[in-house]
Structure 1
Amino acid sequence: MVPLSFAGEEFVLTQGRALYWPRERALLVADLHLEKASFYARHGQMLPPYDSRETLERVALAIRETGARRVYTLGDNFHDSHGSTRLEDHAAGMLAALTRATDWVWITGNHDPAMEARSGGTIAEELELAGIVLRHQARAGETRPELSGHYHPRLQVTVRERHIRRPCAVVASGDGSGGRMILPAFGALTGGMNAADPAIRDAMQPAARIDAVLPLAGKLAQFPLWRAAA
């Protein structure tokens, strides 16, 4: 875990793609996409049906590592709004235990706009916590501090002829913005978008600069993605 300053607050970015907010004792995770495998199975593409178990094990580990007492999920919690009805008993029990042990808030996303909190927790489309907006998809033109998901950003770089692709957070700063951050996808069965993709850049405006950040060798590594013309 590495410290990260954002919007005047101190956070911790974990190796497992979660963001921890010590002052709020809150863990933030984006894009769990629970029951993605069962969604594909219903449409004829058979995948190992254990993605929800693995994702929930990751959440449980992040809670233990950070000591979080609150959990905020930043949308696309299930791969579709009916995903919670397909949880097998073991995964459903894991999720129910997690929502009982923490103050759990589901923020809905484009994949699960009509989801129900069948295994506990409460649901919100978005909310503001200590002056920071929590929502699923970054809103272009937003000048308040904002935490979101949706884009599954991955840093893609070539170092000494090696092509490296790693999940990362994307942070926008300056130019009248209070700071914006897109979290990496947390789920076990999620792909990724190049963090330098114009769709991410456009969603993060206004900004003076945009950087990819991720834990690397126990430190916070920062890679510039875009800077406004002088």
Structure 2
Amino acid sequence: MQIVKHPIQLKSEELTLTNQRAIYWQRERALILSDVHIGKTAHFRKYGIPMPKTILEQDLERLMGLIEHFNAKKLLIVGDLFHAGSNTDLTVFEEWKAKSKDLKVVLIKGNHDRISKSVIERFQLELHAPELVIEPFTFIHDKGENSSSFQISGHTHPGVTIEGKGKQRIKLPCYQITESELILPAFSLFTGLNTKNAPEDCDCYAFTETGIFKV
């Protein structure tokens, strides 16, 4: 896995965008990500659609690589850590988490995070709903309206269409940034891309396996 980094300044804070669908915040020693959707592949398998377990395992392997690269002590997950309640994928996550016992996991509840108190205790999650404020940012899964603070959200799985010669097109995941918000890409590779309805006057930072670039 190649980790490509692009530092940006937001509200006098330095954040590091990565091409691995997460941001590092040095002040908090935290990785910021959204839409992991643990349980999605097991949910599909339950209904007869053959989805390999390796999809989740690859996502978690990428996440561990980021934790080790930055020596992160905290995960700030901006919603949809889980996808569809309890299923066999939770065991995969439990085994992964056991490798990082000192890692603090903070979850800002998303629309898919329909989880019981026992699940919260099982994974020792610090749960916040509907938002968490760590100045100068407000973390919320689905951006709110008319907020006076800078919001960091997820939920929409943002992407951008790049047009090349001969009417060739490629869709890439991206970070969307305006003067008042930052929308994270979905961390899980098993998600679609929403290339429509971008905020007005936003800068899009698209990325590939080898680079990050402003569109």
- TM-score of Structure 1 vs Structure 2, range by shorter chain: 0.7 to 0.9
3-state SS of the aligned residue for 1:156?
Answer: strand
Equivalent residues in 2 for 1:123-142, closer than 5 Å: 123-125=127-129, 126-142=131-147
Aligned positions, number: 206
Equivalent residues in 2 for 1:72-91, closer than 5 Å: 72-80=76-84, 82-83=85-86, 85-87=87-89, 89-91=91-93
Matched, 1:210 2:202: yes
Q: 2: distance between equivalents of 1:189 and 1:217? A: 16
Percentage of identical aligned residues: 27
1:78-118 deviations in Å (ceiling 9; x for gaps): 112x23x42364442112333x2312111211111435322
Equivalent residues in 2 for 1:188-203, closer than 5 Å: 188-194=189-195, 197-198=196-197, 200-201=198-199
Matched, 1:171 2:177: yes
Q: 2: distance between equivalents of 1:89 and 1:78? A: 12
Q: Cα offset for 1:172?
A: 1.3
Equivalent residues in 2 for 1:58-73, closer than 5 Å: 58-73=62-77
3-state SS of the aligned residue for 1:101?
Answer: coil
Structure 2 equivalent of residue 93 of structure 1: 95
Q: 2: distance between equivalents of 1:110 and 1:91? A: 20
Structure 1 equivalent of residue 213 of structure 2: 221
3-state SS of the aligned residue for 1:139?
Answer: coil
Q: 1: distance between equivalents of 2:89 and 2:184? A: 25
Structure 1 stretches of 5 or more lacking a match?
174-178, 202-206, 224-230
Q: Cα offset for 1:216?
A: 6.7
Structure 2 stretches of 5 or more lacking a match?
none
User: Which of 5, 16, 40 is matched with 1:12 structurally?
Assistant: 16
Letter in 2 for 1:181: L
3-state SS of the aligned residue for 2:8?
Answer: strand
Q: Cα offset for 1:127?
A: 0.5
Q: Cα offset for 1:66?
A: 1.4
3-state SS of the aligned residue for 1:168?
Answer: strand
Structure 1 equivalent of residue 46 of structure 2: 42
Letter in 1 for 2:40: K
1:17-45 deviations in Å (ceiling 9; x for gaps): 10001111110011001111111122232
RMSD over aligned Cα, in angstroms? 2.1
Letter in 2 for 1:213: Y
User: Which of 8, 23, 29 is matched with 2:27 structurally?
Assistant: 23
3-state SS of the aligned residue for 2:48?
Answer: coil
